[in-house]
Amino acid sequence: MSIEDKLRDVLKTIPGHVKLVTVSKTQPVESILLVYNAGQRIFGENKVQELTEKQPQLPDDINWHMLGHLQTNKVKYIAPFVSLIHSVDSLKLLKEIDKEAAKNKRVIDCLLEFYIAREESKFGMSMEEALEILNSEDYKNMNNIRICGVMGIASFVDDPDIVRAEFKSLVGIFSRLKSEFFPDKDYFSEISMGMSSDYRIAIEEGATIVRIGTAIFGERDYSK
């Protein structure tokens, strides 16, 4: 099946209110253009270097999302153009994004990444860490970031009940943060969860953004 056909099949399973981030990591510019020409405008990458290499080679109206772990010293490379950072996992990183956004006279939209999987994972925060950030003076003084919601990655397991419970936990986190910190902020509305193997469950549980690579482009080839 062609990439365009796979995209069409995926889109059929995604309701209109859910945004699709096409995850283009490891994919060549030519494949990304096929998806772009089929109408898709949101692309996600997980490495700063790959993102900054591809962005100038592709059309200007693409919304680039940063999905992967972001080191503070690399924020400056994506701050001029990135449209949503899904992977904010520390106050230090948020401060750096705010600083670089200010330099670029921008407000950068961010999601707080939460650790929801049962597997050991290096990335993502706990509720306690998020509360510490949102209650801090540092956060209150930031003018160039906007926290638009939450992101999480479920366990890579075959048991859909485990995955579903993890997505439910992220929705619970979203609801608590919404009512405690953003009750009258319409922009705090995003729940980014679900990948090729589990996005249908994520949508059932309330995802507003799904991040899909393999189901559209096929298996990634990391050897290139």
Ligand X SMILES: *Cc1c(COP(=O)(O)O)cnc(C)c1O
Scan residues 49-108 and list those touching ligand X (CB under 6 A): 67-68
Please, where are the H alpha helices in 69-209? 75-78, 91-103, 127-135, 137-140, 160-181, 199-205
Are the C-beta atoms of 115 and 124 separated by less than 8 Å? yes
Residue 191 as a binder of ligand X (CB under 6 A): the answer is no
211 is a site residue for ligand X (CB under 6 A): yes
With both helix axes pointing from N to C terminus, report the angle between 29-37 and 3-12 in degrees, rounded to the nearest 10: 50
Which listed residue (90, 157, 196, 200) binds ligand X by CB under 6 A? Answer: 196
- 20 binding ligand X? (CB under 6 A): no
Report the C-alpha gap between 12 and 7 in whole angstroms.
9
Q: Give Cβ neighbours of residue 200 (< 8 Å, ≥ 6 apart).
A: 13, 194
Distances (CA, A) of 96 to 3, 5, 17, 60, 170: 37, 40, 31, 25, 25
Question: What is the smallest separation between the CB atom of 197 and ligand X, expressed in angstroms?
Answer: 6
The residue from 7, 195, 201, 203 that contacts ligand X (CB under 6 A) is 195
**Residues 117-156 interacting with ligand X (rule: CB under 6 A):** 153
Q: Is 213 a binder of ligand X (CB under 6 A)?
A: yes
The verdict on 25 binding ligand X (CB under 6 A) reads yes
214 binds ligand X (CB under 6 A): yes
Dihedral (CA of 72, 138, 191, 22) sign? negative
Kindly state whether residue 212 participates in binding ligand X, applying the rule CB under 6 A: yes
Least distance (Å) from ligand X to the CB of residue 153?
6
- Binding stretches for ligand X (CB under 6 A): 23, 25, 46, 67-68, 153, 195-197, 211-215
